[in-house]
Structure 1
Amino acid sequence: MNTEQRGRNYDVAIVGGGAAGLSAALTLARARREVIVIDAGTPRNAPAAAAHGLIGLEGINPMQLLERGRREAASYGAHIVEASVTSATKTDEGEFVVRLDDGSSVQTGQLVLATGVRDELPDITGLAQRWGRDAVHCPYCHGWEIRDQRIGVLATSPMSVMKALLFRQWSEYMWFLPNGIDFAADQLEQLTEKGIIVVPGDVSSVEATDDHLTGVMLDKTTTLALDALAVPTTASPRLEGLHDLGVDTSESAAGVSVVADATGHTSVPGVWATGNLVNPGMQVSEAAAHGGRLAMTLNTELFFGPIDPASMANTSKKAA
């Protein structure tokens, strides 16, 4: 961090520079707030070649999207720092001190957590190397790219049947791999009725040739030829260095997320959360929109004080 940024007191510090964090930074900088974005540079979708479903930017490389977002936020005065947070604490005066791995620290009145999540992958040889490419988790993110190919769905929980049925929309060549998980007979019947072949056995490795997935090894003896592998994952929040803040989290079938209300307030006054950190299922477009809306609410509260989401909803109903 340069001398100008070191020790400076910001209106808002944003930890995480993905779509949600940069969208919040852009909106706040345009509102003439002093904003800093602290980002380690390792977004969830970094392994993917393209981001999809983002109108006007369909198919853009995720890292190019973020680089463009950094430039846009910086053009309005936001400070972008590539660093990791080692600790974040709230002072007796209600301010926050965020310490970074370069030895510097940032003081801020409001703290936005936009660090995202990481996908927890099964411990299967070769899977991590294919992740985000031809081993995927989201049909809306990657379904078109693997359409009409031979797709295997690796079960990771009882919810995997639903994911297999959804992927069936993109290809008629489907295999379901229970991988040691017991499923009810009626669930397996749902799969077979849709033409999805259930293949027993434990998946021991993911096979690839010439940088393309070619199949999975079952029980270390038999290869099932595939072109792509769908893996329903659970998500864990990226809160390294932030645990001392004490924000509430909750657990669901999708994984662990930070608890925040509709406007982004967490359980700790002055700490906000946005993007995949509050909803691991958000697409890039949703995360960007969520970050922008949070920033508008945050800026308004800096003027007028805390806003009760329930009262806002009631006001909208009356106006309608």
Structure 2
Amino acid sequence: MVSVEVVTVTRQNSNQDDAYEVVVVGGGAAGLSAALVLGRSRRRVLVVDAGEPRNAPAAHMQGYLSRDGMPPAEFLAEGRGELARYGVAIVRDRVTEVARDGAGAFTLSLADGTPVHARRVIVATGLVDELPGLPGLAERWGHDVLHCPYCHGWEVRDEAFGVLASEPFSSHQALLVTQWSKDVTLFLHTVRELPDADWERLAAAGVSVVEGEVAGLEVEDDRLTGVRLADGRVVARSVLFAAARPVPRSGLLAALGADTKDTPYGPYPAIDETGRTSVPGVWAVGNAASAMEQVINAASMGYRAGLTINAELLMEDIDATAHRRRAGAFTAQAEAAVSRAVTGERTHGLPV
């Protein structure tokens, strides 16, 4: 388990230790990226991290420019260090509930009983990979049982690949991995039929097809050596690709009544291009919003959400100040605050 540094933040604008402008639920690439943008925008931000990253089983992450091959735990640790420079608070805990507070903001309950308050909420809780129920598969997950050739294909190139079919779409996965090895075997397992076009493509790509249900894996010296069928046959393989069912951790969004959309992987939150959900003031980013987002894409989603939220809060505060001026409630104290803002001394947070 990766340790999470707890950062204590004191801001001039905060009248409550538990009042934040933005609370980010989840400390993976998406959540940390959003928090970085907001911290650099001088916002008071809290990241609540349960410490359950999706890619924890993987020794390295690939495809992230300038960070290719970096261990995921090291990547997150560096991200937390960057946030500390901008006063972003990070706590190891879990958000159990998010509720509107009646004033357009939110109260979040932490597992340890602590309430925190926020004007905006970013849900970056990721997803859980539900693996096929095959003996020994979970123990090899992220090592020599893999799911994404873009994440791991280069590292196992030219080895003997197996692909475990769990649905007709698995034939596409078998075709895809031929880019990294020409020794590919598709195990039909529980899939009984494939479209004729799939059979034609598999043959053209040189993919061998083995019918019959898979019973387990053969492992020697902590290395996958073969796939064992229910009839006792063992097919030598050193890598097995298997499709997991990605299930978003969307309980908080569901409790808030957020709209969902149907995807090939089941229902996911309905969001716009910035991650905004149907619940005003709530964003969803990273794998909490999409099954297909790899680390670099998840970070990009968090970045866009952070930009959008900062601009929205800024305009909201300016409009509130303008409204009070029109209403004649502009006091000398408030006038002084506006003057400080013009000269770069603005206090950041709720409008004065």
Counterpart contact for 1:85–1:242, Cα < 8 Å = no
The whole-number CA distance in structure 1 between the counterparts of 2:36 and 2:231 is: 51
The whole-number CA distance in structure 2 between the counterparts of 1:196 and 1:112 is: 44
Map 1:278-293 to 2 at 5 A: 278-293=289-304
Q: Work out which of the residue numbers 158, 163, 172 in structure 2 matches 1:153.
A: 163
Which residue does the alignment assign to 1:215? 226
Q: Work out which of the residue numbers 173, 183, 188 in structure 2 matches 1:178.
A: 188
The whole-number CA distance in structure 2 between the counterparts of 1:90 and 1:207 is: 52
Matched letter for residue 247 of structure 1 = A
Which residue does the alignment assign to 1:314? none
Counterpart contact for 1:237–1:277, Cα < 8 Å = yes
The whole-number CA distance in structure 1 between the counterparts of 2:29 and 2:218 is: 33
**Is residue 87 of structure 1 aligned with residue 97 of structure 2?**
yes
Counterpart contact for 2:250–2:288, Cα < 8 Å = no
Structure 1 pair 251/121, CA: closer, same or farther in 2 (3 Å)? farther
Tell me the TM-score normalised to structure 2 length: 0.83
Q: Work out which of the residue numbers 9, 27, 30 in structure 2 matches 1:20.
A: 30
Tell me the TM-score normalised to structure 1 length: 0.91
The whole-number CA distance in structure 2 between the counterparts of 1:251 and 1:232 is: 19
Q: Work out which of the residue numbers 127, 135, 142 in structure 2 matches 1:125.
A: 135
After the TM superposition, which segments of 4 or more aligned residues of structure 1 sit over 4 Å from their partners?
1-7
Deviation at 1:277, TM superposition (A): 1.6
The whole-number CA distance in structure 2 between the counterparts of 1:227 and 1:201 is: 19
The whole-number CA distance in structure 2 between the counterparts of 1:186 and 1:295 is: 45
Unmatched tracts of structure 1, length 5 or more? 307-320
Give the aligned CA root-mean-square deviation in angstroms.
1.9
Matched letter for residue 107 of structure 2 = V
Counterpart contact for 1:275–1:282, Cα < 8 Å = yes
Which residue does the alignment assign to 1:104? 114
Which residue does the alignment assign to 2:146? 136
Deviation at 1:63, TM superposition (A): 0.8
**Is residue 65 of structure 1 aligned with residue 75 of structure 2?**
yes
Structure 1 pair 256/121, CA: closer, same or farther in 2 (3 Å)? farther
**Is residue 205 of structure 1 aligned with residue 229 of structure 2?**
no
The whole-number CA distance in structure 2 between the counterparts of 1:121 and 1:250 is: 23
Which residue does the alignment assign to 1:311? none
Deviation at 1:174, TM superposition (A): 0.3
Counterpart contact for 2:7–2:89, Cα < 8 Å = no
Which residue does the alignment assign to 1:317? none
The whole-number CA distance in structure 1 between the counterparts of 2:92 and 2:7 is: 11
Alignment coverage as a number of residue pairs: 306
The whole-number CA distance in structure 2 between the counterparts of 1:244 and 1:256 is: 15
State the SS of the aligned residue for 1:153.
strand
Unmatched tracts of structure 2, length 5 or more? 1-5, 11-15, 318-352
What are the Cα deviations for residues 198-227 of structure 1, in whole angstroms up to 9, with x where unaligned? 001111212222221122211152211111
The whole-number CA distance in structure 2 between the counterparts of 1:106 and 1:233 is: 35
The percent of aligned pairs where both chains have the same amino acid is 44
Counterpart contact for 1:112–1:274, Cα < 8 Å = yes
Matched letter for residue 16 of structure 1 = G
Deviation at 1:256, TM superposition (A): 3.4
**Is residue 75 of structure 1 aligned with residue 85 of structure 2?**
yes
Deviation at 1:251, TM superposition (A): 2.9
Larger Rg: 2
The whole-number CA distance in structure 1 between the counterparts of 2:127 and 2:217 is: 24
